[in-house]
Structure 1
Amino acid sequence: MDQRNGVKAFLGTGWKFPVEIDGATGRIKMSSNEDSIRESVRIIIGTRPGELPMHPEFGCRIRDYTFESADYTTLYSMKTEVEHALIRWEPRITDIQAEVSDEQIDQGLLMIYVSYVIRSTNSQYNLVYPFYINEGE
């Protein structure tokens, strides 16, 4: 196996999230490589610990801050929760940094900016995760 195939194997392949059916084949769409990692990061941030019966500790505790005031302490705590969850649950990435922005707080929205480096390729990626502080409104 050449180096490139070894790296791609490490990055992995899994079901696309959210789950979709390929109209042409009727099979479940798959997500590979960097897309798989990006989807994993979103799943980790969006999953509350306790949601998965077989993995009760899996996820990120940012939902604990729903309905909290968006002051410096809360934003910093959310940043820390995201970074710790990704360090714990996504071993394919490193150099994880999160920032929480309250620029859209008037709409009840915080933006979580995440940057990370994929270990096997040393490539940097970014994503933005919207977090609604008044969930249910």
Structure 2
Amino acid sequence: MNLDFLGRGWSFPPEFDKTLPGVVLLEQEADIVASLQALLSTSQGERVMLPQYGCNLDDLIFESLDTGTKTLMADKIETAILYHEPRIELESVNLDDTRELEGVILIEVTYRVKTTNSRFNFVFPYYKLEGTDLDLGVTVNLLPESD
């Protein structure tokens, strides 16, 4: 079966192959997964040439995780996939909030590739808490005041 119609694109984030000159390319279902990863992690307006691309999940980062917020998150994801990923048919978007106290919501996207009728499950981790307790190895030296 010829699967060229599923596309070919750069990996996300872009990688370069040292053995062959050029960018690492993804094909078929791997390209769809990379596309979904990019779509869910992009805010609208972030891409200059495609200002409507993305789903603005960052707008909800400080909202309480109630039914309304969960519904809004799922709606943003469904709408973004509907408009920007024509190769798949979205079956469901589920939010797994069992790790909510850790600040993690797992977004489970179940979809079917339209032309091959293959079903896949994509899980995208959404981190709700900011990383204030991360040790980034940054050292701050205070300089003495000069007279």
- Hey, what does 1:11 align to over in structure 2? 6
- Hey, what does 1:110 align to over in structure 2? 105
Secondary structure at the aligned position of 1:91 is classed as coil
Secondary structure at the aligned position of 2:44 is classed as coil
1:42 corresponds to 2:23? no
Counterpart AA for 1:131: Y
- Hey, what does 1:22 align to over in structure 2? 17
**How does the TM-score come out when normalised to structure 2?**
0.85
Identity of aligned residues (%): 36
Equivalent of residue 82 in structure 1, options 77, 81, 85: 77
Question: 1:121: how far off?
Answer: 0.2
After TM superposition, list the pairs within 5 Å mapping 1:51-130 onto structure 2: 51-130=46-125
Matches of 1:61 and 1:15 in 2, distance apart?
22
Question: 1:23: how far off?
Answer: 2.5
Cα displacement string for residues 85-136 of structure 1 (whole angstroms, at most 9, x for unaligned residues): 1011000000331111211111111110001000010000011101111245
**How does the TM-score come out when normalised to structure 1?**
0.91
Secondary structure at the aligned position of 2:91 is classed as strand
Unaligned 5+ runs, structure 1: none
Structure with bigger helix share is 1
Secondary structure at the aligned position of 1:44 is classed as helix
Matches of 1:53 and 1:13 in 2, distance apart?
22
Matches of 1:121 and 1:95 in 2, distance apart?
14
Unaligned 5+ runs, structure 2: 133-147
Q: For the aligned residues, what is the CA RMSD?
A: 1.2
| Contact persistence 2:109–2:121 (CA under 8 A) | yes
1:133 corresponds to 2:128? yes
Question: 1:75: how far off?
Answer: 1.0
Cα displacement string for residues 7-50 of structure 1 (whole angstroms, at most 9, x for unaligned residues): x1210111111111112213211100000011111111111001
Matches of 2:130 and 2:120 in 1, distance apart?
28
